[in-house]
Chains A and B, each alone.
Chain A
Amino acid sequence: MTTRFKNDSLWIETDTGNRISRKATICAPVNIVLSGNVIIKADVIIRGDLKRAGPSPSIAMNIGKYTILDEACVVRPAYKTYKGTFSYYPMKIGDYTSIGAHSVLEAAAVGSYVDIGRGCVVGRFVVIKDCARLTPGSVVPPNTVIPPYALFSGCPATQIDTLPESTLDNVQQATTSAYNDFKMT
């Protein structure tokens, strides 16, 4: 894939509209799939090198379109020892999802239209369904399932409210306009 440089020193924009900061640490990009229109800001760490054990090529990270990874967040695949073998498990992040600054994400799956606030810690094998929201500073314990349209908060994070049905449209609009208004400076 050829890359087109808009601002040579700071940002890379790919043909599919992914905007990636040069200050981000992206390990083993071969194992990472970006669906396009993804923003990866400065100091983000994505651990694509932590893939499933074995010689066959496998994808460690799948990130949907219009997903925004805010400054200094850490995204790494979850791991466990199952029947005596240690392995990493691939992570899938849906479309129109935003991950707040300084958050640490080790989830198994994050749905679409999800909003993860600043400074959240999401434990191993957490499943976040579509249209869910995490307030800033929440800590989600491992193996938790966050149902759709749920607002989670606290440490350990528990459901405090249900989001309205318009969440899907609002989040889609907000992330799309955040991408369009984003300036690579």
Chain B
Amino acid sequence: MASVSVLYQSKLRSALDKGEFYPLSHLYFCEECDAIRCPRTIILDAVMHYCPNCLFEVPTASVKSQRNRCMRNCSSCPLCQSSLSTVGTGTSIDDPNISLDKLTEAESSRADPPFLLSCGCCGWNSRCFGERGVFDKPTGIGALIARGDEKEGRANEEFEHVRSKFESLLSVDGFVDDVAFHPLYPAHATPDTSDRQLESLAETEFDKLNILRNATDLHDIHNSSNSYPSSIYKHLQTPQRIKLVTKYSKRCATCRHILIKPDTKSHTKHKIKMTANNYLPAINARIARMALQPTGSRLTSNGELRGGRVYVFEMHTVNPLYDAMKIRMKVVHQSGCKARIDEGEYEIGAFNDVMEFEEEAWVQSQARRISEAKSVGLVESKGNWTNSMFELGVYQDAKRLEVSFGKEKVYADEKV
């Protein structure tokens, strides 16, 4: 209970949807709308696709024909899903000290044909397929696996299902706010009748896989009604090509301005990056040290708050902007507790990165220690951060405390 998490909420257009709270790091800020944008109030556009294993970019044109999988050498182990490596087990160098068993491990490769796929995690190798699992060349193995998939035709069927489902969704992307279903965030999905077809395909597979994953002994698998279904069985037998990863550019759903634009040359950098932590004050709240607590307000032995007591919390606010910002807080919503907070306006100094490193004295000169003894209101202000106090009266039977503060000028709500 004594652990505090600070979450922020973006203002949603729709009055029906109250919106969710997110940590600051997951939010974006639209300069045009002057508002926070959360993963549900943005629009995603695929910019490029790349393989997470070899990190090579796949042209958008060939993504569909390759079924969103890597065409190079990347494949995953049929037993443990970790990536396989190509190993040369050639015998052109005769060394009696190295047994042939060892040669299937990637770190003892001789780089001569024949080549095998070998898993560094569970020890599986493609020799169990006999002739089919041994290759003359170390490249283009992905293409060979793909040929095997095509014969089954199952992948095509699945792809068509998924595509028809998402096409219907994407056609209404103008109302992303109101759609309770987001392609990337299926956790928020409310299943409707049209989803059934897709789910029947995907969910049964998933359930069956889960039974296999969670099984601790053979008995568990036998007890489940459909033990080792045939399609899963085939899945587990052959290496799968590694699925591609998509990089998205992200736009504000309201004004369509770009919030995130990845740099196609670098995997790390972004050409445009409007993340909320560069615009909103970072807030950290924690329980103030014991000397400041009212008499009788001690924590329980395992660090939890006691019901019926009043506790003082310390709130540390950091301004990331190069301009000073004014903050006024007020309690919007509370459950399980009664919060007392200073509703007056106060200022947080501007962020100054040069000063921060070079002139410790400048920061010191800005420091104002307002009051040590106060239990509510601004206590300390220094450089671009302030410390302020607020009080929480915990109700007798409260299990979880929630306080929302409305903040003017910064458009943030806070949940403690």
A residues near B (Cβ < 8 Å) are: 78-84, 111-113, 123-125, 129-131, 141-145, 147-150, 156, 158-159, 164-170
- In the complex formed, the residue of A with least CB distance to B259 is A165
Chain A nearest CB from B109 CB (Å) reads 6
Among A125, A130, A142, A164, point to the contact of B25 (Cβ < 8 A).
A164
Interface centre among B112, B121, B276 (most CB of A within 10 A): B121
Q: Are A130 and B267 in contact (CB under 8 A)?
A: yes
Q: Report yes or no: B267 in contact with A148, Cβ–Cβ below 8 A.
A: yes
A82 to B110, CA, bound (A): 5
CB B72 to nearest CB in A, in angstroms, measures 12
> What is the CA–CA distance of A22 and B278 in the complex, to the nearest angstrom?
39
Given A83-B112, A142-B120, A165-B260, 15 further pairs, Cβ under 8 A: A81-B108, A81-B109, A82-B110, A83-B111, A112-B268, A125-B107, A130-B268, A141-B119, A142-B107, A144-B82, A156-B80, A159-B52, A166-B24, A166-B273, A169-B277
Query: Could you tell me if B52 and A167 are in contact, using CB atoms closer than 8 angstroms?
Result: no
Residue of A nearest to B268 (CB): A130
Contacts A141-B120, A145-B54 given; does A156 touch B81 at CB 8 Å: yes
In contact, A147 and B52 (Cβ under 8 angstroms): yes
For the complex, count residues of B whose C-beta is within 8 A of A: 37
Please tell me if the beta carbons of B52 and A79 are within 8 angstroms of each other in the complex.
Answer: no
Is B297 among interface residues, defined by CB-CB distance under 8 A? Answer: no
Q: Which of A113, A142, A169, A170 has the most CB of B within 10 A?
A: A142
Whether A129 pairs with B55 at a CB distance below 8 angstroms is yes
Which chain A residues lie closer than 8 Å to B120 at the CB level?
Answer: 123-124, 141-144
Q: Contact: B106 with A80, CB < 8 Å?
A: yes
Query: Which among B109, B120, B275, B277 has the greatest number of chain A C-beta atoms within 10 A?
Result: B120
Chain A proximity of B96: nearest CB distance (Å): 12
Q: Can you offer 5 A-B residue contacts whose CB atoms are under 8 A?
A: A81-B109, A84-B93, A141-B80, A166-B24, A166-B277
When the two chains form their complex, are residues A150 and B109 in contact, meaning their CB atoms are under 8 A apart? no
Q: Which residue of A81, A112, A145, A166 is within 8 Å of B52 (Cβ)?
A: A145
Inter-subunit contact B52/A143 (CB<8 Å):
no
Q: Are A84 and B110 in contact (CB under 8 A)?
A: yes
Q: B245: CB under 8 A from chain A?
A: yes
Would you call B121 and A141 a contact (CB within 8 A)?
A: yes
B95 at the interface (CB under 8 A from A): yes
- The verdict on B53 contacting chain A, using a C-beta distance below 8 Å, is yes
Q: Which of B24, B85, B267, B275 contacts A165 (CB 8 A)?
A: B275
B270 within 8 A of A: yes
Give B217-235 as 1s and 0s: 1 = Cβ < 8 Å from A's Cβ atoms: 0000000000000000000
Contacts of B26 in A (CB 8 A): 164, 166
| Smallest CB separation, B103 vs chain A (Å) | 9
Contact of B83 among A80, A144, A150, A166 (CB under 8 A): A144
Given the known inter-chain contacts A81-B107, A142-B120, please indicate yes or no for A170 contacting B277, CB distance below 8 A. yes
- Contact A80:B81 (CB < 8 A) given known A141-B121, A145-B54: no
Most chain A beta carbons < 10 A, residue from B24, B82, B245, B278? B82
Seen from chain B, the residues whose Cβ lies within 8 Å of a Cβ on chain A are 24-26, 50, 52-55, 80-83, 85, 93, 95, 98, 106-112, 119-122, 245, 260, 267-268, 270, 273, 275-278
Q: How distant is the Cα of A79 from the Cα of B98 in the complex, in angstroms?
A: 15
- Complex-state Cα separation, A158 to B106, whole angstroms: 20
Q: Determine how close the nearest CB of chain A comes to the CB of B315; give it in whole angstroms.
A: 18
Query: Does the CB pair A167–B81 fall under 8 Å?
Result: no
- Inter-chain CA distance A82–B260, complex, in Å, is 43
Contacts of A141 in B (CB 8 A): 80, 82-83, 119-121
Contact residues in A for B25 (Cβ distance below 8 Å) = 164, 166-167, 170
A residues near B122, Cβ cutoff 8 Å? 156
In contact, A82 and B109 (Cβ under 8 angstroms): yes
Residues of A near B83 (CB, < 8 A) are: 141, 143-145
What is the distance, in angstroms, from A24's C-beta to the closest C-beta of chain B?
Answer: 27
User: Chain B residues with Cβ under 8 A from A166's Cβ?
Assistant: 24-26, 273, 275-278
Known: A143-B120, A164-B25. A80 touches B53 (CB 8 A): no
Among A80, A131, A144, A148, which residue has its beta carbon within 8 angstroms of that of B107?
Answer: A80
Known interface pairs A80-B108, A142-B106, A145-B54. Does A168 touch B81 (Cβ–Cβ under 8 Å)? no
Q: In the complex the two chains form, is A158's CB within 8 Å of B268's CB?
A: no
Q: Is the CB of B268 within 8 A of A131?
A: yes
Q: Is the CB of B267 within 8 A of A129?
A: yes
Cα–Cα distance between A156 and B80 once the two chains are bound (Å)? 7
Tell me the minimal C-beta distance from A105 to chain B in angstroms.
Answer: 16
B192 to chain A, nearest CB (A): 26
Q: Which of B93, B267, B275 contacts A147 (CB 8 A)?
A: B267
Structural contact, A84 and B52, CB atoms closer than 8 A: no
Query: Top 7 closest A-B pairs, CB basis?
Result: A141-B121, A80-B107, A142-B120, A166-B275, A147-B52, A130-B268, A148-B267
Q: Is the pair B121, A147 in contact by a Cβ cutoff of 8 Å?
A: no
Q: B111 to A82, Cβ gap below 8 A?
A: yes
Shortest distance from the beta carbon of B27 to any chain A beta carbon, whole Å: 8
Closest-by-CB residue of B relative to A146 is: B52
Q: How far is the CB of A78 from chain B (nearest CB, A)?
A: 8
A156 to B119, CA, bound (A): 11
Complex Cα gap A144–B276 (Å) = 33
Establish whether residues B107 and A79, one from each chain, have CB atoms under 8 Å apart when the complex forms.
Answer: yes
Chain B's nearest CB lies how many Å from the CB of A131? 6
Given contacts A80-B109, A141-B120, A143-B85, contact A148 B268 (CB under 8 A): yes
Least CB separation from A170: chain B residue: B25
Chain A residue with minimal CB distance to B250? A165
CB nearest to A166 among chain B residues: B275
